[in-house]
Amino acid sequence: MDKKILATESLDEFIDALIEMHGLNPLNRYLLNLLFEIKKDIPLQTKKFLALCLSLLDDGNTRISLDKAQFTAVWTKKWNGLVTLRISSTDEEMSESNFATASDFDEIISDGIQDILTDDFSAIMESRDSDEISVEDEFGKPFVLAKRPSGKHLYFTKHFDAKCVIEKSAKKLFKNGHKPAGDEIENCINKIASICKPFANGSSFTIKNRQAEAIIRGQTENLVITGGPGTGKTTVVLYILWNLLESHSEMLDWNIYLAAPSGKAADRMRESLIDGLSRIRDEKKTGENARIFRKLNELESSTIHRLLRFSKSKGGFTFNRDEQFPQKSIFVIDEASMIDIEMFAALLEAIPEGARLFILGDPFQLPSVESGAVLGEILKVKSGTDFSVKLNESNRFDDKSNIGKLAGEIKLVAETKDSANFIPHKFTGSGALANELDGNISSSPDTTKFKDQVFFRRLETDNATLSKKEEDKRIDLFIAEWARDFAKLPELAEDIHPDRTGTEADDPDHRETARRNEIWQLSLTKRILCAERRGLRGIENINKKVCSKIKSLWKAHQKSQGEAVEWSDTGYFPGQLLIITKNQEMFKLYNGDTGIVIFDGNTPYIMLKKTPSRINDEGTQRRDDFIFYPLSVLPEDAITTAFAITIHKSQGSEYNHVTMFLPTRIGHPLLTNQILYTGVTRAKKSVTIIANDETFKAAVTTISERDTGISL
């Protein structure tokens, strides 16, 4: 969008240009047209301003400040990011001079705010004097204009109502807690150790003090339990549930609901609880405790959407504020950072006062794809009420973890909002095809004391700016080296037979099972994570390069063996990694599930490994067989290549080795603290960050914040 389009008298041209800049969801064109039909006398400048408001609401904000200085600051950051994104995502060489500047919008912003605050917009906006849920019917006005001493804000009505629901429900469900005494903590730690099997080396299973605090408080309080990867949030919940059922036998007849915003997250929570149950001593599962073990072992998990039971006939959820869940219920909600404001509100208002509720999450990960950042907001309690426990010791990232140190430093900047003094830790970094970063980030002389590694790579040489063509060549070189570890995928895939069940009759020598496990483990060893979808460093370009390289390596290998390779015309090849991008409820496949392409003749299948089932009668954990689905039964837009995935899609996953491509331009909207933290914490053994020192520091010190207006 240039200055000419900005000043156009055609609203359609203005909206088209904003959509082309990826600054406005195309669906919002219809909402704008509807608004202008309802109120026909809106001046052109104000119409353009309302388009800017919808653009900011598209970013996950649930309210927009109508203070000119505040609006201008938010829009300036947004517009500069859009320009940067447009330049980054195209293969052409472009300059910022091709675009309007943020200051060119000044007149639109001034006129729009003044008009909305002084003219009569009651046809499309409802003024609210208090934070109360709308009593109007479903055909109510789309916007709320909230005028408070703290400022004037424009909300979508649905978001304002959701905010009010969350505030009201949270005050009912969460009460002020207490800190347990030292002897209570010690007794809890000893009790958990007594019911759990010791490790192979004879040492006891020992929980941390904060975990014990949460377990103790969970006996009498509803809690929000936060912590990073490996801090044991689901471990805490398991022992909260165990102790509750042990101390209150009547709760054995209560409903226990396990839910998460995605099917994948729900399955992971269930898997984690089963892992915890497998640690409990056999003698603790018998007698009076047999019912406790059986109840927890038989729990199922679901998405929050399925838990609330959407009804087409009702046009809403079956469980709601008028028809709540039974009071004798316990709810465990995981990955709460991913829950948007409307779903959070729908969940809380369906839970009756008196039920037990445990919400788990990491507020420093990426927020929900839809509007809001509710987990972070409800933790900012202004009333002084204490209903949260923060787990701050990670079993995965301890004092010998470079990855943990880096993640901690990234998180500290987000916690303190102090970026001026950020000096990254000295990590290891070396290797071919890339140079170490200069400046503050360098290699450490002593790597032996660390159990994992952090590498920094830049594609530039001598801090020179690369042309698009030069950058693409350097990415080619990097991918050529990276893909070598996956060169064996086609060979392994060709030896797997989808028609075999994996049972003893079909696989008496266990070779088929061994081959499946081998390729599955190989597929999980490494992944490329990208902030962007398009552009040279986006998943589309990188996946294309990885597939091409693996196929060429396999062809070369077969040629050296005197064999020819003929790929099918399906567009897939054996060993190709795929990810589900849309839920397929019929097959219990969920957004984020990954699999491997296996052929049966000329028919491509996707092979996946199902979530572990409950513990069997022998007291051991049984894993379900691998499952296969013909790719023809899945919609084409519900599946894509997964050697490289977006950092958003990686949430909740773990890989031994992660390579992360960061955007190349300062001010890019995806060059943020949350993006970096989420990507880094997906790695278990090593993480390689492709960035230079300026873009890396910009990512750490740029904290993306959403304005939701929630106040507790």
> Which pLDDT tens digit goes with each residue over 50-107?
999 999 999 889 999 999 999 999 999 999 999 998 888 777 777 888 899 999 999 9
Residue 425 has pLDDT above 80, yes or no: no
Q: ∠ CA(192), CA(194), CA(195), 5° rounding?
A: 70
User: CA 365 to CA 652: how far, in whole Å?
Assistant: 10
pTM exceeding 0.95:
no
What is the C-alpha separation between 187 and 191, in angstroms, rounded? 6
pLDDT of residue 442: 40
Q: How far apart are CA 134 and CA 137, in angstroms?
A: 8
What span, in angstroms and rounded, lies between the C-alpha atoms of 254 and 247? 13
Q: How many CA atoms lie within 13 A of 533 on its CB side?
A: 5
Mean pLDDT of 403-419: 88
Check pLDDT > 60 for residue 245: yes
Query: Quick check: 140 pLDDT over 60?
Result: yes
Structure tokens that stand for 291 in this block? 């019912």
pLDDT bin (cut points 50, 70, 90) of residue 509 is confident
Q: Which two tokens stand for residue 579?
A: 């990810």
Up-side HSE of residue 11: CA atoms within 13 Å toward CB?
17
Distance from C-alpha of 530 to C-alpha of 640, rounded to nearest angstrom: 15
- Per the structure block, which two tokens stand in for 166? 């969350």
Q: What value, to the nearest 5°, has the Cα angle with vertex 428 and ends 426 and 429?
A: 115
Identify any residues that bridge with 355 across adjacent strands, giving them in sequence order.
Answer: 353
pLDDT (mean) for 138-151: 84
**Largest Cα–Cα separation, the chain:** 81
Q: Measured between alpha carbons, how far is residue 682 from residues 286, 455, 653 in Å?
A: 38, 14, 6
Handedness of CA 133, 137, 143, 146 (dihedral sign): negative
Please give the helix or strand (H or E) that residue 520 lies within, else none: helix 511-523
Q: Which residue has the tokens 């196929």?
A: 551
- 12 pLDDT more than 50: yes
Confidence of residue 462 (pLDDT cuts 50, 70, 90): low
Q: What's the 3-state SS for 1-34?
A: CCHHHHCCCCHHHHHHHHHHCCCCCCCHHHHHHH
Contacts of 331 (CB under 8 A, 6+ apart): 257, 259, 325, 351, 355, 356, 357, 358
- The predicted structure's pLDDT at residue 150: 84
Judged against a pLDDT cut of 50, whether residue 444 lies above it is answered with no
Between 704 and 399, name the one with better pLDDT: 704
**pLDDT band, residue 322 (cuts 50/70/90):** very high
Q: Is the dihedral of CA 218, 348, 343, 245 positive or negative?
A: positive
Angle between helix 11-20 and 44-57 (nearest 10): 20
pLDDT higher than threshold 90 for residue 566: no
- Locate 17 and state its tokens: 């240009």
Of residues 2 and 624, more confidence is placed in 2
Residue 439 has pLDDT above 60, yes or no: no
Coil/strand/helix, residue 35: helix
Of 646, 692, 670, 622, the C-alpha closest to 88 is 670
**pLDDT score for 569:** 72
In single-letter form, the type of residue at position 351 comes to I
Find residue 143's DSSP bridge partners: 125, 156
Beta-strand pair 255-260/310-311? unpaired
359 φ/ψ angles, rounded to the nearest 5 degrees: -110, 130
Q: What is the pLDDT of residues 468-503, one digit of tens each?
A: 888 899 999 999 999 999 999 999 999 998 887 656
Please determine, for residue 646, whether its predicted confidence score (pLDDT) is greater than 50: yes
Q: Give the span between the Cα atoms of 132 and 130, in whole angstroms.
A: 6
689 falls in which pLDDT band (50, 70, 90)? very high
Query: Which of 587 and 621 is assigned the larger pLDDT?
Result: 587
Least confident window among 531-535, 563-567, 698-702: 563-567
Residue 424: name the closest of 440, 408, 436 by CA.
440
**Phi and psi at residue 347, to the nearest 5°:** -65, -50
Lateral strand order in the sheet of 639-641? 626-630, 603-609, 594-600, 577-580, 639-641
pLDDT class of 398 with cuts at 50, 70, 90: confident
Confidence of residue 709 (pLDDT cuts 50, 70, 90): confident
The pLDDT, as a whole number, for residue 34 is 93
**If pLDDT is split at 50, 70 and 90, which confidence band does 191 have?**
very high
| Token pair 């050697």 in the structure block, residue | 643
* DSSP codes of every residue in 383-403: S----EEEE---SSS-TT-HH
pLDDT at 169: 94
Q: Is the pLDDT of residue 392 over 70?
A: yes
Is residue 361 within 8 Å of 335, Cβ to Cβ? yes
**Which of 442, 439, 452, 440 minimizes the C-alpha distance to 401?**
452
The rounded Cα 564 to chain-centroid distance in angstroms is: 42
pLDDT band at 616 (very low <50, low <70, confident <90, very high): low
Q: Which two tokens stand for residue 132?
A: 């109360």
pLDDT value at 679 more than 60: yes
- One-letter amino acid for residue 45 of the chain: Q
Predicted confidence band of residue 620 (pLDDT cuts 50, 70, 90): very low
Secondary structure (3-state) at 192:
helix
Instruction: State the average pLDDT over residues 418-425.
Output: 72
- The model's pLDDT over 586-614, given as tens digits with 9 standing for 90+, comes to 888 888 889 999 999 889 999 998 765 56
**pLDDT of 445 over the 50 cut:** no
Average per-residue pLDDT for the chain: 88
Confidence of residue 434 (pLDDT cuts 50, 70, 90): very low
Where are the extended beta strands (E) located within 601-654? Answer: 603-609, 626-630, 639-641, 644-646
Residue 623 banded pLDDT, cuts 50, 70, 90:
very low
Write the DSSP string, 77-102.
HHHHHHHHHHHHT-SS---GGGS--G
- Token pair, residue 554, equals 């396999």
Residue 416 has, within 13 A of its CA and on its CB side, a CA count of: 13
Cβ atoms 75, 109 nearer than 8 A = yes
